[in-house]
Amino acid sequence: MAPTFAGLSGRPLSLAVSTVATMGFLLFGYDQGVMSGIISDKAFNNVFTATKDDDTMQALVTAVYELGCLAGAIFALMFGDRTGRRWMIFSGAIVMIIGVIIQVTSFVGHIPLLQFFIGRVITGIGNGMNTSTIPTYQAECSKTSNRGLLICIEGGVIAIGTAIAYWIDFGAHYGPDDLVWRFPIAFQIVFGVIIIVGMFFLPDSPRYLISKDRIQEGEYVLAALGGFEIHDQETQIQKNLVIDSIRASGAGATTRYRDLLTGGRSQHLRRMLIGSSSQIFQQLSGCNAVIYYLPVLLKQSLHQSNDEALLIGGINMIVYAIFATFSWFFIEKIGRRKLFLGGSIIQTIAMIITFACLIPDDKQVSKGAVFGLFLYMAAFGAAWLPLPWLYPAELSPIKTRAKANAVSTCSNWLFNFTVVMITPVMIAHIGWGTYLFFAALNALFIPIIWLFYPETANRSLEEIDIIFAKGYTENISYVKASKDLPKLSDEEIEQKANEYGFGNSAEDPEKATAAEYSPSTSE
């Protein structure tokens, strides 16, 4: 009989893991969108008077959350391998709830803006811990056949969370002054409680457990997730593949920061840089310039009333959420590279349309800019929203996966903060030039993706290790290595692992891997 967690095993257990992981990103999306509808509302400005008609202060109130997220991602980078995936997510949800409570208890006469700032930072810390860890947790608990789908669902529900926030903001706008901003912010607690309860009963990642020499525990979780008995052949094959992957990357009880800078067959540094670049590009594409400030953009650039701006923003978020489901159906069929490339091309076109329609400063012509922003959000939701959460989580080897994913998330939040801070200033000073700037950046992504992003669709995490070992050993590009390597069965992965010197039958795997972890071999 298969082992269970909370009475679940096999598909129901995998579904429970995915549901809780998805809830973490639904909360992330909600928090991304909640400030956009209240930051310039009269009821909010009456409590936090410094934000009234002050673009810089509004940007700071919004962007300080990103600094908290960056701090949370750094915390996950430092302690994620010690605590494990499960307890990092559990703790992150608790920290987020504490931050929310601090925010909603801000009152006039009690230094409300400082208290709100502190609450925003603490909420961000919790979110940074979760967003650094959840994709890794999901990737390590998933089967090859649905790993891409499940993590893309996580990425896609960011848009759904943002849409929920927009419409809750819209409804609360017509209520009493305290309801206008306190209720939308407090509503996040619902998501946080679900995460806490879920993670209390769910297992840690089997790959994490095995990498820490807790092999029996890892074997137990593998059997539970697969719905097999512990001694079943399928469970043993999966366990051996994970052990091979650990041998390939030199993983052990501890992972040093210097391991992130190594090359050799495992290519830790290259894989971390590729994954991090996708997170950086996501932010530099201009997504949060639209998500956070769309109502402000509509009022300032298109001269819409506050109610009209909120309504159009809410409709745009529905479009965003609908197109975010695109990757759920096509991520394995189309592949990562084509989605990255297609999204970049359409986003470039959308930003060109937006800035071109704003140049004449004519209200009728400017309506074309609304179409450009809608087109941008549709393309972003379909491609660049989910993929940067999937790609780093599956790209790095098990030894450095937690740290590399935390680094990529740190990159995301650092550039997120930068974009959120500079956007209102850019709009105020260069107007349509803001969108020209983002159009140029989106165009720049295209050749980088073409040259450096290998395809990982329909590959197990262990096959991805083989791709980089093949590229390094044969001195070919990793894009070509991915194209040349046929789909491998579990047995063939074992054979290839032995061929490249890190399988169970390798003559001296420790000696074979020792040299490649010297910084001098990190080319």
**Backbone CA torsion sign across 488, 492, 498, 504:** positive
Amino acid identity at 268:
H
Which burial class, exposed, middle or buried, applies to 190 when counting CB atoms under 10 A from its CB (0-12, 13-18, 19+)? exposed
What is the distance between the alpha carbons of residues 26 and 10, in angstroms, rounded to a whole number? 24
In this predicted model, what pLDDT tens digit does every residue of 141-153 receive, in sequence order?
Answer: 988 778 888 888 8
Q: pLDDT at position 521, please?
A: 39
Which residues of the chain fall below pLDDT 50?
506-523
Counting the structural domains of the chain, the total is 1
Q: pLDDT at position 512, please?
A: 40
Residue located via tokens 């201009």: 286
Inter-residue contact 288 to 423 (CB < 8 Å):
yes
Q: Which of 82, 95, 73, 89 is nearest to 202 (CA)?
A: 89
Q: How many CA atoms lie within 13 A of 220 on its CB side?
A: 12
Domain contains 354:
yes
Q: pLDDT at position 302, please?
A: 66
User: Six-digit token pair at 345?
Assistant: 């091309």
Inter-residue contact 188 to 95 (CB < 8 Å):
no
- How would DSSP label each residue in 130-185? HHHHHHHHHHHHS-HHHHHHHHHHHHHHHHHHHHHHHHHHHHHTTS-HHHHHHHHH
Domain contains 384:
yes
Q: How many CA atoms lie within 13 A of 132 on its CB side?
A: 38
Domain contains 216:
no
Amino acid identity at 116:
F
Domain contains 323:
yes
What is the distance between the alpha carbons of residues 129 and 91, in angstroms, rounded to a whole number? 8
What is the distance between the alpha carbons of residues 522 and 259, in angstroms, rounded to a whole number? 10
What is the distance between the alpha carbons of residues 147 and 140, in angstroms, rounded to a whole number? 9
Maximum alpha-carbon separation in the chain: 73
Domain contains 59:
yes
Q: pLDDT at position 514, please?
A: 40
User: Six-digit token pair at 453?
Assistant: 């992003």
Inter-residue contact 462 to 239 (CB < 8 Å):
no
Which burial class, exposed, middle or buried, applies to 347 when counting CB atoms under 10 A from its CB (0-12, 13-18, 19+)? buried
What is the distance between the alpha carbons of residues 157 and 26, in angstroms, rounded to a whole number? 5
Instruction: Give the containing element (helix H, strand E) for 240.
Output: helix 233-249
What is the distance between the alpha carbons of residues 81 and 213, in angstroms, rounded to a whole number? 13
239, 240, 242, 248: CA torsion to nearest 10: 170
Domain contains 85:
yes
Domain contains 248:
no
Domain contains 497:
no
Q: How many CB atoms lie within 10 A of CB 178?
A: 13
Q: pLDDT at position 254, please?
A: 63
Query: What is the residue range of 423's domain?
Result: 11-202+262-452
**Backbone CA torsion sign across 193, 195, 198, 201:** negative
391, 396, 397, 398: CA torsion to nearest 10: -80
What is the distance between the alpha carbons of residues 47 and 42, in angstroms, rounded to a whole number? 9
Instruction: Specify the CATH number for the domain of residue 311.
Output: 1.20.1250.20
